[in-house]
Structure 1
Amino acid sequence: MFRTAIFALRSLRPLSSPYYNATRIICNDFKNFSTNRNISSPTSFYNLNIAKGSLLCNKQILSISDNITKIPVRTVTKFSLKKGKRKTVKAVVKRFFRLHWGAWIRPKVGRQKRLWKKSPPQRRRLKDHVFCNATQTTLLDKMVTKFWKRPKYYVDDPYAPYHTREEFTITRKRPIVRN
């Protein structure tokens, strides 16, 4: 577990940074340990034989690695502190859009990156939106409150033709007209 975190750290920083050198020292020291030692607790990690002059002697690298490996978490707040209600994950509302019939759409990935090297047809295709799959839709529905699940009506909504899904029998609103 610790070893995979170290290798993840090495991939985050350039080769010339002090963080890379520090993680290289940890990895080299870590490879020399015997596998039967208990390294599960931080105190047993400090008691290992470490060469003098390395950053581990000062225990600085552990605080550095804790700051680097913090990954943002966008999970649901189950109970708010004031009223005890669920909270909406704001990242979902910013990045996705829910159609009236329950599907979520999002812009294509990388639509703003390296546009100078993309051809005009590819740039045009990147402006399109794509549907989220069923698993993602279920997850996104759990991450927002019922306020965001209710239909919202905007003036000059560019998504207006997509809010109805008449070709599908379950979401159809109008009856089928047969000639």
Structure 2
Amino acid sequence: MLNTLKISFFQIRTKIHFSITDGKPITNFEVVSRYFRLNNGLWIHAKPKRRSRVWKKTEFSNISRHEHVFTSEEKCIMLDKLVDKEWKERRHFINDEYSEYHKWDNLPKYKYLKKVDKFYP
């Protein structure tokens, strides 16, 4: 019997590039330019389409388009794979705008936690 290949039409961005000289993984600089990694392991990014059709949007959406959004658990793991060890280290900035978000308080703690099945009695 012939084995049929399963073709996936979904985008998969888990390709890790390696340097020719060292053989170490290279950072994907598109990730670094679009996302910001917090010290607790979460990633944030700006809202999509925040610059398009501003004249058409309401006043509330124009105000809220400057806000940042947390990424999901799966996306955090994927972005950590695409980034080098250098970008995962803690960074200390003077007058950091995100200093309140670097802590674990009142944030979801899903950094690489094993998924536990729900217990049904």
> Normalising by the residue count of structure 2, what TM-score does the alignment of the two structures yield?
0.73
Q: SS of the residue aligned with 2:25? A: coil
Aligned to 2:6: none
Q: Amino acid of the residue matched to residue 87 of structure 1? A: I
Q: Are 1:160 and 2:99 matched, yes or no?
A: yes
Matched-pair identity in %: 35
Once the two structures are TM-superposed, the CA of residue 75 in structure 1 deviates from its matched residue by: 3.2
Distance in 1 (CA, whole Å) between partners of 2:22 and 2:44 is 31
Aligned to 2:71: 132
When residues 74 and 165 of structure 1 are mapped into structure 2, their CA distance, relative to the original with a 3 A threshold, is closer
Q: Are 1:145 and 2:84 matched, yes or no?
A: yes
- 1:35-54 aligned at under 5 Å gives the runs none
Distance in 2 (CA, whole Å) between partners of 1:157 and 1:112 is 24
Larger radius of gyration: 1
Q: SS of the residue aligned with 1:162? A: coil
Q: Are 1:76 and 2:16 matched, yes or no?
A: yes
Does the 8 Å contact 2:37/2:44 carry over to 1?
yes
Q: SS of the residue aligned with 2:45? A: strand
1:114-163 deviation per Cα after TM superposition (whole angstroms, max 9, x unaligned): 11111221111111111110110000000001111111111221111111
Q: SS of the residue aligned with 2:76? A: helix
User: Greater relative contact order: 1 or 2 (C-alpha under 8 angstroms, separation 6 or more)?
Assistant: 2
Q: Which of 106, 118, 122 is 2:45 aligned to?
A: 106
Q: Which of 12, 17, 28 is 1:89 aligned to?
A: 28
Q: Amino acid of the residue matched to residue 30 of structure 2? A: A
Q: Post-superposition, which runs of at least 4 consecutive aligned residues in structure 1 deviate over 6 A?
A: none
Does the 8 Å contact 2:35/2:43 carry over to 1?
yes
Aligned to 2:59: 120
Q: For the aligned residues, what is the CA RMSD?
A: 2.2
Q: Amino acid of the residue matched to residue 25 of structure 2? A: R
When residues 85 and 111 of structure 1 are mapped into structure 2, their CA distance, relative to the original with a 3 A threshold, is same
- 1:2-81 aligned at under 5 Å gives the runs 75-77=15-17, 79-81=18-20
1:33-58 deviation per Cα after TM superposition (whole angstroms, max 9, x unaligned): xxxxxxxxxxxxxxxxxxxxxxxxxx
Distance in 1 (CA, whole Å) between partners of 2:66 and 2:25 is 33
> Normalising by the residue count of structure 1, what TM-score does the alignment of the two structures yield?
0.51
